[in-house]
Structure 1
Amino acid sequence: MKTILITSVALAALTLAGCASPTAADRSGTDPSSATSLTSCGMPLTVSAPPERAVTLEQGATEVMLALGLQDRMVGTSYLTDAVAPEWRKAYDDVPVLADQYPTTEQLREAEPDFVYSMRASAFASEAAGSRQELVDLGVPAYLSANDCEDPALVPDEVGFDAILDEVTDIARVFGVDQRGRDLVAEQRDTLEQVTAAASDTRKPSVAWLYSSVNGAPVVAGGNGLADTMGRVAGATNAFEDLDAQWGETSWDEIAQRDPDVIVVADLSRGLPGDSADDKIAQLRSDAVTKGLSAVRDDHLVAVPATELDPSVRSIDALQTVSTALTAYAEERR
């Protein structure tokens, strides 16, 4: 079975090469000065000209493209984990959806991309779109976010905003919309500065970040992910900073013992029981273990779209929401 799988991937890759070759040939006369060279998760990439047929493999990459006004350069997208931000919904509706989750190598081939982009390494698995190296070897640059490299050793020690904004700059440069990138980065850095300035007045409340529940066990943010970084930037401490994970399982009893001042609740729109922020808040208020928590009793519950808690162009919105809630919390305590 393993041999058959490898052969199938190889055959699909060869077919993709057949589709990609004319694009590469068409660009053979392109002025070399228009080429963009960069490194993505340790892989050198050369983009000979601004792409015209980009495919994004999941929501984070899709929304970076939409935020830069590049929907007209997209011939495919896939894998929504949450609702697209309202300001980009109309643009998103004009982009073909290749698959409900990750596209297969065959689905990707049919789109004839000249650039492939994902914020998730899992998109480039053999059972998904295929490896980045295969795509690059076929002349299709494949960009992957620094926050989720195939090699964990290449991921920055801190999952933070610098890597997100560097990525926005990279994508803007690749597509020849540098000024749009600079404007977007400047806007987000301005918000970062405002949040940082407000952080000194929060009195560092403890925050638990509740993402979901797996078989009844709550999943919370540990000390290795973006949520932890957000809390520190906004002037809070992570109630589970000792958890060695970006997100990890704990227990309701453990949450009760730590009794956080504020609970940030992820709002997932995938439709499973307990996913929505309303469901989580209802459970917190009715469960015998959690209804006496300080954050529940005092209504210091902050709902944030789950997508914003993953590194993306929307993470700045979650940071601003949490900062506003922490400022309000501090004012109540004065």
Structure 2
Amino acid sequence: MRKPVVAAALCLSTLATGCGAQVETSESKPASSAVTLTNCGQKVTYDKVPERVVTNDVGITEIMFALGLEDRMAGFAMPDDKGDLTGVPWKDGYEEVKWLSKQQLTQENVLDARADLVFAGWNYGFREDSGFTPDSLKKLGVPSYILTESCRNGRTESSRGIMPPLDALYADLTNLGKLFGVEKRAATLVADFKKQVAAVQAEAPTGADRPKVFLYDSGQDQPFTSGRYAAPEEIISKAGGVNITHDLNDSWTTVGWESVVERDPDVIVICNYGDVSAEEKRKFLLSYAPLRNVSAVKNKRIFVLDYVDLVESPRNPSAIARLGAYLRTVAETDATS
């Protein structure tokens, strides 16, 4: 996303196609076929089906795994703070595909892997300050696909997000399905994810009963959080809550504690990853004096989701279901108090 997480996710029935079911293979499209996709609002033509894809970060990597494209991958890069990868729906992918680096991707990683496509995103590998960009890779003869959640929107030099977060996930699944000739699998995943989300929405609190939610990623002087274009926006809203930073036209960004206090969230969701544990973040929030009168802190309503749940990934629907169950409990408790 930005700074850089993985939770053990349940292999839900709606994710059955990612758990060993027989599906179409990525060999269904001839390797010589050119494919044109719309990525970040631009038409991009890929002259052939990639055979040695390199990915950056866990959510992006698991999009490839969910589509059954392990055989098209040369490796992935991600920090090793992503939890237990052996219990995830796509654990076979982690066993089959090479872990290239525990840092961000570099041009050296790409060249050493003989990559013919880099799938990354702005602040999910691509950064101007590091010189690792789609343009720099193009000069090396390596095409890129940009994670749609991270697409720059032109509002500021670095602000990101061009569509609702779940639409971004569905767009990437559909695009990659077309590129690799696994359209049926992509369509099945999208349909199953939509069905799972709709089931949560059907039971979610409505109207004034919807709890106000603040997503806390990190930071003590200023909190790093999610605007309207990062995955937490729809994870919160589809689960039955209201993201208090919905008005920020960005994906991941920094705000001031004053605005959090003023908007008085009923629930705080912690993004779990990195060197600072979720429990340490919880202790900070509960002890930070400016937050002492915030409803979520007074009532100790703090819920933890993992990084991969909260960036664009095939874990998003499961995260919606888990947060939805918690928010229903909060709404029911408030209604009877």
- The answer on 1:263 being equivalent to 2:264 is no
- The one-letter amino acid paired with 2:74 is V
Residue equivalent to 2:143: 141
Residue equivalent to 1:308: 309
- The answer on 1:197 being equivalent to 2:199 is no
- From 217, 220, 226, give the equivalent of 1:221: 226
Tell me how many residue pairs correspond in the alignment. 298
- The one-letter amino acid paired with 1:298 is N
- The one-letter amino acid paired with 1:165 is Y
- The one-letter amino acid paired with 1:99 is S
Secondary structure of 2:268's aligned partner = strand
In structure 2, the CA distance between the partners of 1:51 and 1:279, relative to structure 1 (3 Å rule), is same
Q: How many Å apart are 1:227 and its aligned residue?
A: 2.2
Residue equivalent to 2:60: 61
In structure 2, the CA distance between the partners of 1:260 and 1:150, relative to structure 1 (3 Å rule), is closer
- From 109, 112, 115, give the equivalent of 1:113: 115
Residue equivalent to 1:19: none
Q: Please give the residue correspondences for 1:99-248 in structure 2 after superposition, counting only pairs within 5 Å.
A: 99-120=101-122, 123-125=125-127, 130-133=132-135, 135-136=137-138, 140-149=142-151, 152=154, 157-201=162-206, 203-214=209-220, 216-243=221-248, 245-246=250-251, 247-248=253-254
Measure, in 2, the Cα distance between the counterparts of 1:66 and 1:73: 10
Secondary structure of 2:223's aligned partner = strand
TM-score when scaled to structure 2?
0.76
Q: Residues 130-176 of structure 1, C-alpha deviation per residue, up to 9 Å, x if partnerless?
A: 44245456654311122223563696544321121111111122122
The answer on whether the counterparts of 2:227 and 2:245 sit within 8 Å (CA) in structure 1 is yes
In structure 2, the CA distance between the partners of 1:218 and 1:49, relative to structure 1 (3 Å rule), is closer
Residue equivalent to 1:27: none
CA RMSD of aligned residues (A): 3.0
- The one-letter amino acid paired with 2:148 is A
Measure, in 2, the Cα distance between the counterparts of 1:241 and 1:171: 29
Measure, in 2, the Cα distance between the counterparts of 1:265 and 1:129: 31
- The answer on 1:40 being equivalent to 2:39 is yes
- The one-letter amino acid paired with 1:259 is D
- The answer on 1:82 being equivalent to 2:75 is no
Q: Residues 241-291 of structure 1, C-alpha deviation per residue, up to 9 Å, x if partnerless?
A: 45565432322x6544433211111111x22xxx32211222233444445
Which residues of structure 2 form unaligned runs of 5+? 1-29
- The answer on 1:319 being equivalent to 2:324 is no
Q: Residues 159-195 of structure 1, C-alpha deviation per residue, up to 9 Å, x if partnerless?
A: 3211211111111221222222122111111112112
In structure 2, the CA distance between the partners of 1:287 and 1:116, relative to structure 1 (3 Å rule), is closer
Secondary structure of 1:260's aligned partner = coil
Q: How many Å apart are 1:108 and its aligned residue?
A: 1.0
Measure, in 2, the Cα distance between the counterparts of 1:279 and 1:155: 29
Secondary structure of 1:51's aligned partner = coil
Measure, in 2, the Cα distance between the counterparts of 1:207 and 1:126: 32
Residue equivalent to 1:92: 94
Residue equivalent to 2:297: 296
In structure 2, the CA distance between the partners of 1:244 and 1:35, relative to structure 1 (3 Å rule), is closer
The answer on whether the counterparts of 2:152 and 2:161 sit within 8 Å (CA) in structure 1 is no
Measure, in 2, the Cα distance between the counterparts of 1:158 and 1:316: 17
User: Which structure has the larger Rg over C-alpha atoms?
Assistant: 1
- The one-letter amino acid paired with 1:175 is F
Measure, in 2, the Cα distance between the counterparts of 1:195 and 1:236: 12
Measure, in 2, the Cα distance between the counterparts of 1:261 and 1:310: 22
Secondary structure of 1:304's aligned partner = strand
The answer on whether the counterparts of 2:151 and 2:162 sit within 8 Å (CA) in structure 1 is no
In structure 2, the CA distance between the partners of 1:129 and 1:76, relative to structure 1 (3 Å rule), is farther
Secondary structure of 1:118's aligned partner = strand
- Asked which structure has the greater RCO (Cα within 8 Å, sep 6+), the reply is 2
More helix by share: 1
Measure, in 2, the Cα distance between the counterparts of 1:68 and 1:78: 18
In structure 2, the CA distance between the partners of 1:256 and 1:127, relative to structure 1 (3 Å rule), is closer
TM-score when scaled to structure 1?
0.77
Which residues of structure 1 form unaligned runs of 5+? 1-29
Measure, in 1, the Cα distance between the counterparts of 2:125 and 2:283: 34
Measure, in 1, the Cα distance between the counterparts of 2:138 and 2:225: 37
The answer on whether the counterparts of 1:224 and 1:244 sit within 8 Å (CA) in structure 2 is yes
- The one-letter amino acid paired with 2:331 is A
